[in-house]
Structure 1
Amino acid sequence: MNALDIQGLRLRLPGTARPVLDGVDLTVAAGETVALVGESGSGKTLTSRTVLRLLPPGAATEGRVLVDGEDVLTMNADRLRTLRNRRAAMVFQDPRAAVNPLRRIGDHLTEGVTLTGAMTKAEANRRAAELLEAVGLGAGVLAARPGRLSGGMLQRVMIAAALMGDPALLLADEPTTALDVTTQAEVVSLLDRLRTRFGTGLLFVTHDLGLAAAISDRVHVMYAGRIAETGPADALFARPRHPYTAALLASTPRLEAPQRRLAAIDGQPPDLREELTGCAFAARCGLATGLCRDRAPEPVPAPGDPGHLAACHHSDRLEGSATRA
């Protein structure tokens, strides 16, 4: 059974002319790391927050979001509370926004599992100390307040807090955005080690393709609320099958690249206030034809690789090189 299985997820918000998430399919197996990448506004964070049903007011959903085989979208309040405390947890972008600056780190780590009865106070303290050691901090941090910790240290505390209930699924929503480059690498390495140690499925949300390549087993590329391409990380980065993936890779700075102006993707993503027909990327794509503007493409497997899918009418025209595409 997968740690996470999203099937045909659609999410509508008030004031929009089309779904913010439009038919998203995504899976994360136990012990697997899956990266969800794309531009800001593509729907990555909303996808991850839907897994915990942390939705904006007025949101309407369709489809299924299964965590350990149970649909989050149909859970009652008690089951949802149990899910958030024990089976799935999230590490947010800004660790300082996720803690009470007046309370000690130990309180933040232990309060949830003790209030729900999952652990006694003594058990929670032992678990918190163990996890702080696992993330590279000493148990002495339990008595500290958030203001004494650096951003990188506090993000490690957030990772420990997310693992307190021994979840089957960990959602990391751009957890390195507010950190310097060195600390980013440390946090990514830490998440990878903990995923292996605890057997947790990890959904890693990022706009940084380098981080996605470093940590993930599989990658889902999202554009305008739809999955444009998905596949094993090595194959997807080496041989992109969707023009959007290829354009993202071509615009990534490289030390070994020729000295020239950095490539960019012309145009803007489609406006949520307007209806969308056909392929969402058609207005910005050099391969687009009338077919692309009239009919939304279905995911098609790459020749010889059924696990590498691209939702593009013309994926066979790509040369498999991000630079050439």
Structure 2
Amino acid sequence: MTTTLDIRAYHLRLPDTARPVLAGVDLTVDARETVALVGESGSGKSLTSRSVLGLLPHGATTGGTVEVDGEDVLTMTPDRLRRLRTSTAAMIFQDPRAAINPLRRIGDFLTESLRLNAGTGARAATDRAVEMLEAVGLSAAVLRRHPGQLSGGMLQRVMIAAALMGDPALILADEPTTALDVTTQAEVVALLGDLRERFGTGLLFVTHDLGLAAAISDRVYVMYAGRIAETGPAAALFERPRHPYTAALLNSTPRPDAPQGRLAAIEGRPPGLREDLTGCSFAARCPLATYLCSQQAPELLPVAGEPARRTACHHTDRIGTRGGADA
């Protein structure tokens, strides 16, 4: 299977921080595969996805590689980056109303990139826009409307159509269902899955919703404080987490079969960027932490007997089903 996105040993540091914002991130997405990137707010999920398009914060320094369709984004010229964002990779942002100019018609929004950056004629760009709108379940009449005339669900479909305009090999979805009601969320998730198969794209789905990640993804990466804590096939990872942080996230997620009473909470807080980390980034909040955890950062290594899974924990063997500690 073709690897669409290949991130290796990726580091990103910002000015005036004591540690990297992203530290040694390894992540891949294959064609026709949905990969979820999950974690608490501030863990580095959105920065990881934006790095794929070269959308880096001012003053950021980077290391490692971020390859899209075999080309390293970190070494691209500005012109090549513009072509990447027009054709090879596309982003679906969290809030469609903030991403679309309310004063312009939907047709202008959809066709602008092809006309200005790809040199496509107005008629051909419009025909492509109609085709993509129909692919997401909207009619050509939407082209003449302004964003304020559409519902949130319709606008998110427009955003998905915009992402498909350049026939990308990779789509980056940055919490695309956050501003939608539950029913519309389900429709958008089903639509993304259908389009992935139809157009053969890879999909990186960024979310803090573990239930949504389980429903949509083939594989999952769990991120904490800029590092990958655990990765593996979605079904196996959610059934038997192999990192204390993944287990804690699952235990704090509402479930129909959960015991009555208050939800479990993860004690403490994530480390700030002005805090240097010498050991495991989760050690201060982890019930299994030992002196070793505070002194040595664990590597992301294969889990014994499960070669498709990797975890960065010194005590993987002490984590039982659903994250409980083994005796």
**Partner in structure 2 of residue 125 of structure 1:** 126
**Partner in structure 2 of residue 222 of structure 1:** 223
Query: What are the residue-to-residue correspondences of 1:194-233 with 2, within 5 Å?
Result: 194-233=195-234
Moved over 4 A (4+): none
What percent of counterpart residues are identical? 73
| RMSD of equivalent CA atoms | 1.0
CA contact under 8 A between 1:53 and 1:72: conserved in structure 2? yes
Give TM-score, length-normalised by structure 1: 0.98
| One-letter identity of the residue aligned with 2:244 | P
Q: Distance in 2 between matches of 1:245 and 1:174?
A: 19
CA contact under 8 A between 2:242 and 2:323: conserved in structure 1? no
Query: What are the residue-to-residue correspondences of 1:68-107 with 2, within 5 Å?
Result: 68-107=69-108
Q: Distance in 2 between matches of 1:254 and 1:218?
A: 21
For 2:236, what is the secondary structure of its paired residue? helix
Q: Distance in 2 between matches of 1:168 and 1:90?
A: 12
CA contact under 8 A between 1:104 and 1:145: conserved in structure 2? yes
| One-letter identity of the residue aligned with 2:223 | M
Query: What are the residue-to-residue correspondences of 1:1-325 with 2, within 5 Å?
Result: 1-322=2-323
Offset at 1:271? 1.5
Q: Distance in 2 between matches of 1:50 and 1:294?
A: 30
**Deviation per residue, 1:113-146 (Å, 9 max, x gap):** 1112353222211111111111111111011010
| One-letter identity of the residue aligned with 1:146 | P
Q: Distance in 2 between matches of 1:293 and 1:324?
A: 19
Q: Distance in 1 between matches of 2:119 and 2:94?
A: 27
Aligned length: 325
Q: Distance in 2 between matches of 1:155 and 1:14?
A: 34
Change (3 A) 1:222 1:315: same
Offset at 1:183? 0.8
CA contact under 8 A between 2:318 and 2:325: conserved in structure 1? no
Give TM-score, length-normalised by structure 2: 0.98
CA contact under 8 A between 1:250 and 1:323: conserved in structure 2? no
Q: Distance in 1 between matches of 2:75 and 2:300?
A: 27
Question: Structure 1: where are the runs of 5+ without partners?
Answer: none
Question: Structure 2: where are the runs of 5+ without partners?
Answer: none
| One-letter identity of the residue aligned with 2:246 | T
Offset at 1:318? 0.7
Q: Distance in 1 between matches of 2:217 and 2:78?
A: 33
Offset at 1:304? 1.9
For 1:166, what is the secondary structure of its paired residue? coil
CA contact under 8 A between 1:249 and 1:323: conserved in structure 2? no
For 1:313, what is the secondary structure of its paired residue? coil
Q: Distance in 2 between matches of 1:8 and 1:303?
A: 23
Q: Distance in 2 between matches of 1:293 and 1:174?
A: 32
CA contact under 8 A between 2:228 and 2:312: conserved in structure 1? yes
